Structure 1
Amino acid sequence: MIMENVHDLMMQALAENVFPGGVLLVFREGSILFFEAYGYANIFSKRTMTRDTIFDLASVTKPLATTLAVMKLVEQGKLDIEQNLGSVLPQFLVPKPGLGNEKGQIKIKHLLGHNSGLPDHRPYYEHLREIRPDARRDRLKEFLLDEPLISPVGEKTVYSDLGFMILGWVIEHLSGTRLDRFVNETVFSPLGLETLFFVDVNRPRLGNFAATELCPWRNQVLEGLVHDDNCYSAGGIEGHAGLFATAGELCILLSELLKAFHSRFSACVFQRNILKAFFERGKDTERALGFDMPARQDASCGHYFSEQSVGHLGFTGTSFWIDLDRCISVILLTNRVHPSRDNVKIKAFRPKIHDAVMKVVVNSI
């Protein structure tokens, strides 16, 4: 399959400083059609990008760790997406001065669908970094309990890191173990995945990591430490960010999702009925439960993914898209925030590269 235009676009992106380096992987029905690495993993050391480079996935953590963990709890009968948050974490039922207990009425599906009424982001790290590391996660929970809603529950869609921080808390409460351990035991380990993991900031790992930002308050180029400020300050393992992976292992995970969705032979990690429920587009929204779906205008996945597609973006320059109808997946991992998050050229590049891929792959079917 000739993908010269795809290769040329990736080379052009390097020349135009869209990102210092990246890895692009395309697969269809279990066969890898394109898998190449480009540019630098670290511009200062001139370390080149390879197909085995490990990336900070940023918000891709939301679908591929937190949401999959929620699916496993649903499968185990420990959680129902129609449950109110207060029935799982009674702390949210306790009225707060001037707040009431509205957050206790948020349903799990509202957190997954980003219509809980919670705000998008809060710079909690500014406070967390000033206190003892062993007290930070408890303080983060206090912040989440105290955070007022910005709209009534279920009324408005606002993409929210806070909602997924709370989902991480829900998972840990119901599973009795840390988020990273639960998702590894129930999803990653059964699939033999070893380079799909969270990094505990107190126990950093060595590895072939793509560098991210020259962080102004951590005073270092981040490499193998989570870029997200709130996640880092809370220890590196949160529901909204913290997952690292190679493109190859993401390919294995997405392949299993596709197999289970289409009832084909798989490792039986996922149940089809649960996947189908989570992959259904919400009413009046461009989101499924925990996953994005193609926007009707200016979709980051371009013009050729079917409406029955799911994916997600990560702030660090990462993304994946799965066309469930055609069994095509595109994984684009870059270090576009290296050395600065001010580089936003990837927004215009994403639809171009996905269109170039799909023009070749769809025409070959």
Structure 2
Amino acid sequence: MNETAHVDTGAPREVGEAGRAGTPRGGTPPDRRRSTWGGRLLGCCRALRRPGPWRRGLLLAALALLIGLLMTFHGEVPDHGGLGSLVETFLPWCGLPVPVLCAAALWRRSASAVAALVLPVVAWLSLFGGLLVPKSVEGADLTVVSHNVGAQNTDPAGTARALSTSGADLLALEELEPRVAATYEKALAARFPHHVVVGTVGLWSRLPLSDTRAVDVLRGDVGPLALTRAPEDVPVEPARALRATVATEQGPLAVYVAHLGSVRLMPRGGFWTDSRDAGAAKLTKAVAAERVDRALVLGDMNGTLDDRVFEGLGEQLRSAQEEAGDGFGFSWPASFPMARIDQILVRGVEVRGAWTLPRTGSDHLPVAAGITW
């Protein structure tokens, strides 16, 4: 029994070079090596397919840039169909989507969208940031109020009473229908000993008035429907603007009261502004010819000063709201004000404050300003 028993201890055995299924001592199995490099390659492909912070939210970034460019270059928007005028009328509201886009960008963790939001934020602040800073101060010598009292106003007496207690020294009324003019005259007589009414606009004053006359701001028709009528069928519209001289202790003050033509959203013609635009041009020309250094323009312009059609008027006068108002001073519609189309514009005087008054029976809010010399 000289045979030696072989005990298998389970230790790995080396096999020959040819046809060996094993692996050299200390090496990595070939199939495992292939698996490792394949996994790395697959991981790289997946990483490339997975968008990073600069590749996520590209649509949000594009929308932010579009809004920013619109506010920055709103003057370049073509006015075909009144599109440019419509955009500029509601230009402050272009900033409304920015907080929504910002929240979406943070939720998506999109660095590109957050970076793109810088443009609309800077553009909006450059246009309207100054309106967020309170600027009203005390010390006004004269309080001026302007109000489109509304042709459909069902409570003209109540509106007149509210205006008589507004503290105004000068009160301009627009859309003053002849059937209710006497109501306003009676209610305002105690507060304002001097007044003048021309067509559908009027001026009430605590100081003497002189040199009052109508100002032509009419286009020659009453609206878009007149374009389809024969000239003899177009009714003659009452005057919608006046000019008067107010005698103050510091000298004469020229006051214009105007109600420019309405604008309409036409089914086929877009944003119709022809009558308003023609009236703005005529009013701008009248103010340019004014010889009195101190001047006010009050009334319903049916447009904001951001609208390009008022560029000429804005070069001659300053907005009381922009100079010394608190906030945007939106005046229309009264139920949910979205635009300041009722203006108080000044030249040669200092504005101490500008504000809106409580709602009356009109679809406009009254606007007010305090001025000094």
User: Shorter-chain TM-score: which interval?
Assistant: under 0.3
Between 1 and 2, higher relative CO (CA 8 Å, sep ≥ 6) is seen in 1
Q: What is the TM-score with the length of structure 1 in the denominator?
A: 0.23
In terms of fraction of residues, the more strand-rich structure is 2
Q: What is the TM-score with the length of structure 2 in the denominator?
A: 0.23
